[in-house]
Structure 1
Amino acid sequence: MESTEYAVVGAGLSGAAAAWHLAARGHDVALLERSTPANDAGSSHGSARIFRYAYPEDFYTGLVQEAKAGWDELTRLSGKQLITATGAVDYGAIRGPERLAAVLAARGIDHELLSPEEANRRWPQISFDTQVLWHPDAGVIDAHESVAAMVDQAVAHGTALHTNWAVASIKASDGGYVLTAADGRSLRAANVIVAAGGWLPQLLGSLSLPSAFLAGMPSLEVRQEQAYHFPYADGTDHATSPWPTFIHKRAGWQAYGLPGGRDAGFRGQKVAEYNGGKILPSAAEQDGQIDPANRRRVIEYVEQYLPGLVPEPYAETTCLFTNTPTEDFILDRIEGITILSPCSGHGAKFAPLIGQLAADLATGAGPVPDQFRLTARASLAESRLAESSHAELGAR
């Protein structure tokens, strides 16, 4: 039986990043992928993911700044353009552009807060209904090329890449673990990092994890998201008013959009309703089918708010979101198993940093933020509850 020091399960953005960082530090690594890296059945395929700094919490904005250093390093090592600068606009009553602007200001990140009229003059292809936050250093991540670049770096440092290796179980054995594939193949590893995305819920029961650790695991909601590509309207001057990425959040609805890149044949914009897809027991239950009601809602949104597009999608696709209740990531370790789930629809931009943190945690080289640790999250939740109760008592 083949053996390795670290087995990484899943070659999406987070798994590929973890394998890269572990191998670059001189560790023996096997990267196991149920299909091929960045395949269409996972969460890391395609050429269009939003890279942005705008978050309502300083915590995540700071992490984006740290992650950018990793993107710059990967760009240098690969020689590929992995992030295309487009800038980003955030607006809508629930999105709170003023609050986002305050966070960016505290972090020294270039931005402007525009009135709806100012924003409409600058981007006539979009209709704005509130103040608008603009930050020019946002852009679009090429997810597929980013995974390929990280896998290339991992392999160059000695990682053994195993494709079409679907993990069925991970069992403790003689101080390590035996990973068994669906077709019966097996691999022995001293340590395991599970970065299985939407397949994590169905794997949890076979990971030999202590019951107390599993009890602290938040519920994971796997959604089959749907995105649509809309063509540019005739007469729209894209050279004078290039499209930024956007997030528009109002009561009961959140939409996002970005230039579709290769995914859309460079012909239009990718637009979707955030968390508008159906909930699945796990990624294994996805069927790739578009919900007609979701399609209708997005078309109606384009008709109302995106005059620069023809409200008739010429292409559509599905992808997976794996959400935690708070949208915080999970990055924790128990015994020799590290759980790595930086998902909730906003994890792509952090990939190089997540890989670094996973390698730190798995090797004991450094800490990870308490917000991602299960035991620390429980304490933090209790603290927040106590603060909330105290605040309510004081208000009375």
Structure 2
Amino acid sequence: MESIEFAVIGAGLSGAATAWQLAAAGHEVAVLERSTPANDAGSSHGSARIFRYAYPDEFYTGLVQEAKAGWDELARLSGKELITPFGAVDYGSVRQPERLAAVLEARGIEHELLSAEEAHSRWPQIAFDTQVLWHPGAGVIDAHESVTAMVDQAVAHGAALHNNWAVTSITASNGGYLITSEDGRTLRSANVVVAAGGWLPKLLGSLALPSSFLANMPQIHVRQEQAYHFPYTDGTEPASWPTFIHKREGFQAYGLPGGRDAGFRGQKVAEYNGGKVLPSAAEQDGQIDPANRRRVVEYVEKYLPGLVPEPYAETTCLFTNTPTEDFILDRADGITILSPCSGHGAKFAPLIGQLGAALATGTGTVPEQFRLAAIGAR
């Protein structure tokens, strides 16, 4: 039976990033992916994820700045543009653009705070209802290409990628762990990194973790989100559209140029946390909720005059949320749990890889608010 030093469960953004860092540090690594890296059934597929610095909490904005250095390194190593610069606008009474501006000011990040009228004159394709925060350093992450680039780096440093290797259990065995797949294959590993995304709730019951550790595990909600691509009206192009987050009472929306997923001819628009809650990713059905589609179309009609309010493509994706929307990065014995989720983890991927590798090897720490003991105390 094959025996290795580190097994990484899941080849999405966080798993691929961690495998890259572990392999680059000289460790023996196997990546066990239930399908293929960045497949459509996970949370890391497609060409469109928002990269932004705007957070109401300076803690997260600082982490984005740290992550950007990793993105720059990955772009250099892969020779690919993984983040396309579009800039971002944030607005709405719940979004509190003034508060966001104060955080960016404190962190030395370029930004402007505009009136609704000033913003509309600059982006007539959007109807603004409050002041608007603009920060040009934001953009769009190509998730699929980013995962591919990180897996390539891991493999180049000796990691083994095992596709179609769906893990069903991880049991303690002879000072390490015996990992079993759905089809009965087994692999023995001294350490395990679980980066299973929406499959984490289903795996938790079969992980050899101490009960005291699991007692602090928060409720994890997996949502089947829905996103729609709306065509640009005549005269508008992707380059003229920023990404946006619009949070107002009663409805929260976000949008970004859809890139390759949208045939480069439309904007991806979605309601934030508007999808149904699932027990785990295994129960997703890929079906669009007509009521959700209607809400998003009505939103586009009212607030996005630069789009034709008829989606030409639609899709589902997974958000895996903790109650506080903080990440879970923690370790017990030889098992490390990485769940940088809650719908906003993509932008942190290279940093999550660094933190995950340090945690798994015992060579570094992670922010305390990501540890289960701190989460359980809140």
How far apart are the structure 2 equivalents of 1:176 and 1:47? 38
> Is contact 2:236-2:306 (8 Å) kept?
no
Report the residue type matching 2:237 in the other structure: H
After TM superposition, the structure 1 = structure 2 runs for residues 50-89 of structure 1, keeping only pairs within 5 Å, are: 50-89=50-89
Map of 2:323 onto structure 1: 325
After TM superposition, the structure 1 = structure 2 runs for residues 1-396 of structure 1, keeping only pairs within 5 Å, are: 1-234=1-234, 236-238=235-237, 242-379=240-377, 381=378
Note the residue ranges of structure 1 that are not aligned, 5 or more in a row: 382-396
> Is contact 2:32-2:162 (8 Å) kept?
yes
* Displacement after TM superposition at 1:253 (Å): 1.1
TM-score w.r.t. structure 2 length? Answer: 0.99
> Is contact 2:329-2:366 (8 Å) kept?
yes
* Displacement after TM superposition at 1:175 (Å): 0.5
* Displacement after TM superposition at 1:252 (Å): 1.9
How far apart are the structure 2 equivalents of 1:85 and 1:163? 32
How far apart are the structure 1 equivalents of 2:29 and 2:233? 49
How far apart are the structure 2 equivalents of 1:65 and 1:12? 21
Report the residue type matching 1:126 in the other structure: I
How far apart are the structure 1 equivalents of 2:126 and 2:308? 12
* Displacement after TM superposition at 1:208 (Å): 1.1
How far apart are the structure 1 equivalents of 2:236 and 2:8? 46
> Is contact 2:330-2:337 (8 Å) kept?
yes
SS of residue matched to 1:192: strand
Shifted more, 209-218 versus 20-29: the winner is: 209-218
SS of residue matched to 1:169: strand
Report the residue type matching 2:142 in the other structure: D
Q: Which runs of 4+ in 1 moved over 4 A?
A: none
Report the residue type matching 1:78 in the other structure: S
TM-score w.r.t. structure 1 length? Answer: 0.95
How far apart are the structure 1 equivalents of 2:225 and 2:207? 27
How far apart are the structure 2 equivalents of 1:233 and 1:269? 11
SS of residue matched to 1:147: helix
* Displacement after TM superposition at 1:378 (Å): 3.4
How far apart are the structure 2 equivalents of 1:287 and 1:118? 43
SS of residue matched to 1:127: coil
Shifted more, 70-79 versus 370-379: the winner is: 370-379
> Is contact 2:300-2:309 (8 Å) kept?
yes
Map of 1:394 onto structure 2: none
* Displacement after TM superposition at 1:375 (Å): 1.2
Report the residue type matching 1:81 in the other structure: E
Give CA deviations for 1:122-151 in whole Å, capped at 9, x if unaligned.
Answer: 000000000000000000000000000000
Note the residue ranges of structure 2 that are not aligned, 5 or more in a row: none
> Is contact 2:218-2:376 (8 Å) kept?
no
SS of residue matched to 1:279: strand
* Displacement after TM superposition at 1:212 (Å): 1.1
* Displacement after TM superposition at 1:238 (Å): 3.4
* Displacement after TM superposition at 1:228 (Å): 0.1
Shifted more, 203-212 versus 370-379: the winner is: 370-379
